[in-house]
Structure 1
Amino acid sequence: MERFFKLKERGSNVRTELMAGLTTFMTMAYILAVNPDTLSHMVDGVSQTGGEWYPIFLATALAAGIFTILMGIFVNFPVALAPGMGLNAYFATVILSSAATGKPVTFEIALTAVFISGLIFILLTVTKIRQMLIVAMPDSLKHAITVGIGLFISIIGLKNSGLLTVGVETNPFVSGAIEPGKFTDVKFFETVFHMGSLEDHGVQLVLIGLALISILMVLRVKGAILFGILGTTIIGILMGSSYVPTDINTDLTPWIPELDKVAFANFDWDGVMSTGLISIVATFTFVELFDTFGTLVGTASRAGLMQDPVEGQKRVGKAMMVDAVAVSGGALLGTSTTTAYVESAAGVAEGGRTGLTSVATGTLFLAALFIAPIIKLIPGSASAAALIIVGLLMLQSVKHIDFQDYTIAIPSFLTIVLMPFTYNIANGISFGIVTYVILATLVNLFGKGKYKVHWLMWILAILVVARYAFIGSQG
């Protein structure tokens, strides 16, 4: 073990690596509860997406365990992987928002789209185009994408908990209910967002969850989100707001993992062809592209693995390949996009320097397969509180955007606000790319600045415009 992971060479030891692995697991174990809740979107015990809670839980634990261990063994890198926040919310949103359309997207179709995006991702990594795209995208837009996704999943958490409700009050003038020019005590504009009822137990519970997680984070408790979720669950049981099994034979999720229930390769190729998921596949691929790069490079730098630029880049390249395989691999198991987790930095901060940290984290995720009944007790309000806080963590990237430079600020702003307010990650990315290309090119032409506009950005901008022109905003 000492020689395989090069522990002495990197100034570490077995105990330090194992503790670092435990720390990383504690900071990201919340995904075991949040991902099944998000992807199944249970309402009164019924899945709204077509995906069942237990198979998704199995897929989450297996994907996180298997691919994190692979990262440790094949790359010797202290980075953990699991189904990514943001893209899992987007995955569920695509299914739910398409239900009332003529071309509904089923859970199986969405999984197929993720699998395809993984294959594209592998191709982009092998051909080095992935690295080229990362260079082409301005840093400001990369950070804006992270911030926008943070707001997007926060709204998902607020909405799922009932703390935020969505309703429409029709403009009476537009509807013809009131003649123009006649002033009465009416509301002239549509109101989309409302505060939920504070008398609702679910809303009360999410507020308790937010308070608990916030206090633990302020006190710098490791695993604050996980402990906050568990604390909220206990309080929810006492309040009568959490599901508590009454019949051990029918209600309890099994303690021994029933791996035959894993929805392996649960794909619908015919559905993909008939639905036309070009935009969705592109979004899965594009967001994962930049999200992973920042996580891998940032974690490697913090672990001191980028001191030798050549060796560091090789290692990151190998890590990118494992990450790319994990996308399709996670879809095969039955979950949304599996990606590198920024929470890996917590283990690095504890001294993790090698792949042994990842092996320890992955092993704990596999062990978590045996605690499904405990995870099942966690109420949706507790998971929603975690979503809101994770949004806060992602929002921190906003400090890296120069809002004094309008050529950068405007595309970044549009990227950020269009994601949550149009309820679509792709819209934010698309408008950010096109706006940046146009503004940067105009400024360069008039001699007002020197902004780099990579030729790949032009190709992306043209593809985005073509997408909206021929497919439409809902394509």
Structure 2
Amino acid sequence: MDRFFKLKQNGSTVRTEIMAGLTTFMAMAYILTVNPNTLTAFGQIDMGWYSVFLATALSAGIFTIAMGLFINFPVALAPGMGLNAYFASVILSSATTDHPFTWEMGLTAVFISGLIFILLTLTKVRQMLLDAVPDSLKHAITVGIGLFITIIGLKNSGLMTIGVEAGNDIAAHTFTDVLSFETVIHLGSLENTDVQLALLGLLLIGILMVLQVRGAILLGILGTTVVALLMGVVDFGTLSDPQTPWVPDFTQINFARFDWDGILHTGIISAIATFTFVELFDTFGTLVGTASRAGIMKNPEEGKKRVGKAMLVDAAAVTGGALLGTSTTTAYVESAAGVAEGGRTGLTAVTTGVCFLAALFLAPIAALIPGSATAAALIIVGVLMVQSIKEIDFTDMVVAIPAFLTVTMMPFTYNIANGISFGIVFYVVLACAANLLGKKKYSIHWLMWVLFVLIILRYIFLGSQG
């Protein structure tokens, strides 16, 4: 173990890595139920709940283990939230009577986007992003992802709710009218059991971290789950639910269910472009942010090489996930939960991957863990990741404005790619303006100009979808 994963070299131990891997799994295990629910939530989509469950567990397990064994990287992969919702919405919004956009066509679009990623990775275009993007934006990405994770935790726990006055169409009113509506973010009801459990989880994890207890996040999740069991709010019906059988039935996998005849559908090009664009920046942000938190980027050259290799596994995961029958499989921001517990090597990822494969047989038990238990962990992880904000020089407006937009647009638009896009566009414009006016000179990598143009074109022709 030590020789293969270089544990001592990375200042870690087998116990620490296993605990970190379990923590990452606990933090992202919700995808095992959320992804099947998302992709089968609409009547026109008949992928099969259990089929998607199998694809989710298998893709997460196989490619997370690959990330650990081949790259020695503490990052887990699974079908991406947001991208799976877009997958579903594309199928519905692009459907026509003459030529419906089927889920098989959606998987085809995902598969093609994965092939594009493999090409971009092998030609080292994706790796060039590590040199092209300024350090200030890299740190801003880490902070933004931290806030993004916090928003996910707050939303999943019920601690944060968004209210819109019933019966009012915001788009049909003026800004002044909207101000009178209940459109603001609210504190969730403290009488809600999920909210109470999330607050308890926050307190448990917080106290354990203050006391510097190893495995604080995982212990907090387990402690909250025990309390939930004692409160009688855990649904034991999952133990006998036919949708979550104890023995996996692999014959129900939608393997390679592609529709190549439908590639000429007008909506598929837009779908491929959107999957590619969002995944490009989402993965970049997640890998850089997690690598920075794990200390991998302390040696810039070595860090860039490892992140570059990780991108190849991620690209393969996109195509592999589509083959298994699920939407885009990508690196997960929740990996930061394991990194926060001390995960520094691929053993963390291998542990997480094994848990996902085990979930194929223990799905009913995994379904017992309440979402409020893991939501508290995500909020704490946000605290840890925003520490990178101290590396950003907010006295320099060329640096501060793009960084601030990167940080804020991620959580407030619920999209990592939006934050990175705004940061890149504003950095190029402001740095160029400063250089032309003879002020302090700022370096603008040629790839930043390429990204600038692509981002502008993306929003012009594809709008804000995804």
8 Å Cα contact 1:124-1:130 kept in structure 2 = yes
Distance 1:382 1:149 in 2: 20
Residue from 278, 282, 290 that aligns with 1:283:
278
Match of 1:140 in 2: 136
1:67-466 maps to which residues of 2 (within 5 A)?
A: 67-73=63-69, 75=70, 77-83=71-77, 88-94=80-86, 114-168=110-164, 188=180, 191-245=183-237, 248=240, 250=241, 253-265=244-256, 270=262, 273-274=266-267, 276-277=270-271, 278-293=273-288, 295-296=290-291, 299=294, 301=296, 317-333=308-324, 334=326, 336-339=328-331, 341-342=335-336, 345=339, 362-466=353-457
8 Å Cα contact 2:239-2:365 kept in structure 1 = no
SS class of match (1:125): helix
Q: Using a 3 Å threshold, how does the CA distance of structure 1 residues 55 and 233 change in structure 2: closer, same or farther?
A: farther
Determine whether 1:34 maps to 2:26: no
1:403 offset after TM fit, Å? 1.4
8 Å Cα contact 2:64-2:77 kept in structure 1 = no
8 Å Cα contact 1:37-1:383 kept in structure 2 = no
Identity %: 52
1:89 offset after TM fit, Å? 3.1
Aligned amino acid, residue 287 of structure 1: D
Aligned amino acid, residue 76 of structure 2: A
8 Å Cα contact 2:111-2:318 kept in structure 1 = yes
Distance 2:239 2:63 in 1: 36
Q: Using a 3 Å threshold, how does the CA distance of structure 1 residues 372 and 152 change in structure 2: closer, same or farther?
A: same
Distance 1:103 1:322 in 2: 32
Count of residues in correspondence between the two structures: 447
Deviations 1:35-78 (A, max 9, x none): 22443468xxx9579687755554454334323443454x3x43
Deviations 1:361-391 (A, max 9, x none): 6445434433322111122333433333343
Moved more, 193-202 or 428-437: 193-202
Deviations 1:165-218 (A, max 9, x none): 21235799x959x9x9xxxxx975764212222222222222223223333333
8 Å Cα contact 2:22-2:355 kept in structure 1 = no
8 Å Cα contact 2:238-2:364 kept in structure 1 = no
Aligned amino acid, residue 220 of structure 2: G
SS class of match (2:161): strand
Distance 1:187 1:128 in 2: 48
Match of 2:18 in 1: 22
Q: Using a 3 Å threshold, how does the CA distance of structure 1 residues 399 and 266 change in structure 2: closer, same or farther?
A: farther
Distance 1:467 1:266 in 2: 29
Q: Using a 3 Å threshold, how does the CA distance of structure 1 residues 112 and 381 change in structure 2: closer, same or farther?
A: farther
1:102 offset after TM fit, Å? 6.8
8 Å Cα contact 2:336-2:381 kept in structure 1 = no
Distance 1:326 1:462 in 2: 28
Q: Using a 3 Å threshold, how does the CA distance of structure 1 residues 112 and 389 change in structure 2: closer, same or farther?
A: farther
Q: Using a 3 Å threshold, how does the CA distance of structure 1 residues 296 and 119 change in structure 2: closer, same or farther?
A: farther
1:33 offset after TM fit, Å? 2.2
8 Å Cα contact 1:72-1:79 kept in structure 2 = yes
1:286 offset after TM fit, Å? 1.8
SS class of match (1:457): helix
Q: What is the RMSD computed on CA atoms of the aligned residues?
A: 4.2
Moved more, 283-292 or 438-447: 283-292
Q: Using a 3 Å threshold, how does the CA distance of structure 1 residues 232 and 251 change in structure 2: closer, same or farther?
A: farther
Distance 2:347 2:459 in 1: 46
Distance 1:421 1:316 in 2: 27
1:280 offset after TM fit, Å? 4.0
Deviations 1:395-454 (A, max 9, x none): 333232221211011011112212222333333222211111110000011121111111
Distance 1:109 1:229 in 2: 39
1:467 offset after TM fit, Å? 2.4
8 Å Cα contact 2:244-2:363 kept in structure 1 = yes
Aligned amino acid, residue 282 of structure 2: V
Q: Using a 3 Å threshold, how does the CA distance of structure 1 residues 198 and 53 change in structure 2: closer, same or farther?
A: farther
Which residues of structure 1 form unaligned runs of 5+?
181-185
8 Å Cα contact 1:155-1:420 kept in structure 2 = yes
Aligned amino acid, residue 136 of structure 2: S
Q: Using a 3 Å threshold, how does the CA distance of structure 1 residues 198 and 69 change in structure 2: closer, same or farther?
A: closer
Deviations 1:126-154 (A, max 9, x none): 11112222211112222223322332343
Q: TM-score, normalised by structure 2?
A: 0.78
Distance 1:381 1:228 in 2: 11
Distance 2:16 2:314 in 1: 21
Q: Using a 3 Å threshold, how does the CA distance of structure 1 residues 153 and 343 change in structure 2: closer, same or farther?
A: closer
Distance 1:154 1:215 in 2: 18
Distance 1:313 1:427 in 2: 23
Aligned amino acid, residue 224 of structure 1: A
Q: Using a 3 Å threshold, how does the CA distance of structure 1 residues 360 and 209 change in structure 2: closer, same or farther?
A: closer
Deviations 1:314-355 (A, max 9, x none): 6654444333323332343336433274566578x58x77x6
Match of 1:183 in 2: none
SS class of match (1:370): coil
8 Å Cα contact 2:285-2:416 kept in structure 1 = no
1:394 offset after TM fit, Å? 3.3
Distance 1:460 1:388 in 2: 32
Distance 1:387 1:132 in 2: 30
